[in-house]
Amino acid sequence: MISPETTTVTTSYTTFDSPLGELLLVGEESATAPGGAALTSLSMPQQRGVTVQPYWRRDPGPFAEAVRQLRAYFAGERTRFELAFRTAGTEFQERVWRALEAIPYGTTTTYGRLADVVGLPRGDVRALGAAIGANPLLILRPCHRVIGADGTMRGYAAGVERKIALLTHEGALQPTLI
């Protein structure tokens, strides 16, 4: 964990009410990012390991563009995000996260197919699942689009019910009628 004593980078955050609940957006100052902050995290309610740190500054200003794009996504008007990210994963995690960005809106892929894309032997799919589970940018790097080979909804950091809601929103799943 980075503490205020070990960094001079300003970390800001804001929240955004979405159809999935309140989203937490976190970013670090960046001279090149729109609004002045590169996103480092987008998380959802009840997601483990994500808490506001006392040295973070609450400031919605740097996130105006991210919020605008998220609103357009939830309104069905946007299928891709064009935002600055700054994540700190391992080389393998970053490679997996970049591969997630290539999964088109309204589609799904399997863990096995994604393993092929990143050049991972299918026997190492657990490592792939762990990298996907560590994705700090839910929705933006669409890990919700990765499903089991048999069509089942495997884990999702914010809960499988939110994964289903996102895939239904994107048209990859049909709504359940009761």
Residue 8 has what pLDDT? 73
Residue 64 has what pLDDT? 95
For the chain, residues with pLDDT lower than 70 are 1-7, 176-178
CB–CB of 145/106 below 8 Å?
no
CB–CB of 34/81 below 8 Å?
no
Q: In this structure, what is the dihedral angle of CA atoms 170, 66, 52, 90, given to the nearest 10 degrees?
A: 80
Q: Which residues are catalytic?
A: 143
Residue 1 has what pLDDT? 47
